[in-house]
Amino acid sequence: QVQLVESGGGLVQSGGSLRLSCAASGRIFSTNIMGWYRQAPGKQRELVALITSSGSTNYADSVRGRFIISRDNAKNTVYLHMNSLKPEDTAVYYCKYSALRDYWGQGTQVTVSS
C-alpha cells in the first residue's frame, strides 16, 4: 500500500502562484511515476503534469511554461509549482503515484479568483 498526502492548495488571485506538495509513504518502489491531475466542476479529471523517478517530465499544453513539476526522491515527495495562475486553473488537484498499480491522493482545492 502507498499513502499520499497533499498540501498547498488555497485561494489565490489571477496571476499569482502556489506550490502543491504530495508526500508518498508506504511501499515505495524506486522506479515510479508521480503526477498531478485536476478536476474542475462538471469536467473530467485531466493530466496536469507528471515526472518519472529519473526526472523526465510531461505537461499538459494548458500549463506548459507556467507550471513546473519537481520531486525529491529522498523524501518521496513531488511538487507542483504553479505560476501565472488563471481562473481556469481552478479545480481540485490530485496527486497520483504509479508503480505496480496506481494510488491517488485525497485532492486539494485550488481556487483562482479573477
Give the model confidence (pLDDT) of 50-97 as tens digits: 999 999 999 999 999 999 999 999 999 999 999 999 999 999 999 999
**Would you call 88 helix, strand, or coil by DSSP?**
helix
Residue 28 to residue 39: CA distance in whole angstroms: 26
Q: Which residues contact 61 (CB under 8 A, 6 or more apart)?
A: none
The one-letter amino acid code at 24 reads A
Per DSSP, the three-state class of 8 is coil
What's the mean per-residue pLDDT of the chain? 97
Residues facing residue 38 across a β-bridge: 46, 93
